[in-house]
Amino acid sequence: MQRLKRGLALYRLVFGQPRQEELLTHLGDLDEEQRQAAVAKWRIDLTPPALPDQSED
């Protein structure tokens, strides 16, 4: 049953429908190095792209 819950949590993450409790449980099952790698892999950078330099010389 635990394996099924973990699979469901990962499925929801992939399709953008995570349940925070399941995500935290999954991350809690990882060691620190695995947790940091997972968070870095899943992080979405919403920083807007840099605008091209439009200064006139």
Q: Which of 13, 7, 17, 15 is nearest to 39 (CA)?
A: 13
For the chain, the domain total comes to 1
pLDDT at residue 17, rounded to an integer: 62
In a domain, 47, yes or no: no
Residue 14 — very low, low, confident or very high, per pLDDT cuts 50/70/90? low
Token output for 14: 């992939």
Better pLDDT: 48 or 54: 48
Q: How far apart are CA 31 and CA 55, in angstroms?
A: 49
**Residue showing tokens 């809690």:** 28
Average pLDDT over residues 11-33: 74
Computed over every residue of the chain, the mean pLDDT equals 78
Residue 29 — very low, low, confident or very high, per pLDDT cuts 50/70/90? confident
Give the DSSP H/E element, type plus range, for residue 40. Answer: helix 32-42
Residues spanned by the domain of 18? 2-42
Average pLDDT over residues 25-44: 83
